[in-house]
Amino acid sequence: MNPLELSPIAYISSCYKEKFGIPRQPGLVRSAKSRLIMDQLFTEECVRGLDGFSHIWLQFIFHGTQSQGWKPMVRPPRLGGNKKVGVFASRSTFRPNPIGLSVVELEKIEITESNVVLHLLGCDLLDGTPVLDIKPYLPYVDSILEAMSGFATDAPQKVISVSFSRESEIQCKQAADRLGEDVKKLVTEILQYDPRPSYQQGARNKELENERVYAMKLHDFDLRWEYSEHNKINILSLSTINDQG
């Protein structure tokens, strides 16, 4: 059998510049705005009527982890990162075929001189993600109220509070002015789910864990924070990447 050849129809431009910190499911961080930039081959005709739908399905490639291969058993974060299940009983990025599926909110469609651009909310995709297909979300068939959901029975909880230092407050305002969006809200929504691996969330040595500084690349800046007692994140700084050289 000849292998099926798939070519991307679009690429994602998102605030997430690295895998760490990306929400584990779509829709959790609605403030995360992304753009789906379609190949020039796909003109306005290809999306005619799509603006009547509030949400769309995206099929895409896990390009950030594709080279790492896959395993038949994985450790879902919802099970604490210790118990294993079969890869097909999970949404792990490490799959035999590195194809992902996300439902995202369609904010608007923009037609430029060179491309069709879909503006998205609540995206959970790494910047540069290749998109294979787009389909409209149909509530009457895609939402099954009586469906069972195995070990992931409820939505993840916002388990941690987020506070900002005076410096980071100023930097959030500067980033908001530069990027044209509410950066403080975005940072809060991302971190309140606690992006650490599950085994670190339950770290035995709390003193060492609380002294550690975490960082993730977001938009055009490095976000740095630390954990304190009483389940709290302290935002330290948002340093512009271009200013670090």
The pLDDT of residue 199 is 57
Tokens 């510049």: give the residue. Answer: 17
Q: What is the fold, at CATH topology level, of the domain defined by 161-243?
A: YaeB-like fold (3.30.2310)
For residues 59 and 100, the answer to whether their CB atoms sit within 8 Å is yes
Kindly report the CA angle at 132 between 130 and 134, in degrees rounded to 5? 115
d(CA 191, CA 224): 11
Distance CA 111, CA 51 (A): 12
Which residues neighbour 232 within 8 Å (Cβ) at sequence distance 6 or greater? 160, 161, 162, 163
Q: What is the pLDDT of residue 245?
A: 44
Q: Could you give the angle at which helices 166-179 and 183-191 cross, rounded to 10 degrees?
A: 120
Beta strands in 81-220 (DSSP E): 85-86, 99-111, 116-121, 130-136, 161-164, 213-218
Burial of 113 by CB count in 10 Å (0-12 exposed, 13-18 middle, 19+ buried)? Answer: exposed
Dihedral (C-alpha) 102, 107, 111, 116: value to the nearest 10 degrees? Answer: -10
Of all helices (H) and strands (E), which one includes residue 187? helix 183-191
**In the chain, where do the E strands start and end?**
10-13, 33-38, 55-61, 73-74, 85-86, 99-111, 116-121, 130-136, 161-164, 213-218, 221-228, 232-240
- Residue 42 pLDDT: 96
Q: What is the CATH number of domain 10-142?
A: 2.40.30.70
**Would you give per-residue pLDDT tens digits along the chain (245 residues)?**
567 788 999 999 999 999 998 888 888 899 999 999 999 999 999 999 999 999 999 999 998 887 888 888 888 777 767 788 898 988 888 888 999 999 999 999 999 999 999 999 999 999 999 999 999 999 999 988 887 777 666 666 667 899 999 999 999 999 999 999 999 999 999 999 888 876 566 554 455 555 789 999 999 999 999 998 767 899 999 998 765 44
pLDDT at position 69 is 85
* DSSP-based three-state secondary structure for 159: coil
pLDDT for 1 equals 55
Please tell me the distance from the alpha carbon of residue 51 to that of residue 47, in angstroms, as a whole number. Answer: 8
Question: What does the block give as tokens for 178?
Answer: 């530069």
**Quick one: CA dihedral 187, 131, 55, 102, positive or negative?**
negative
CA 220 to chain centre: 16
Q: Where are the domains of the chain?
A: 10-142, 161-243
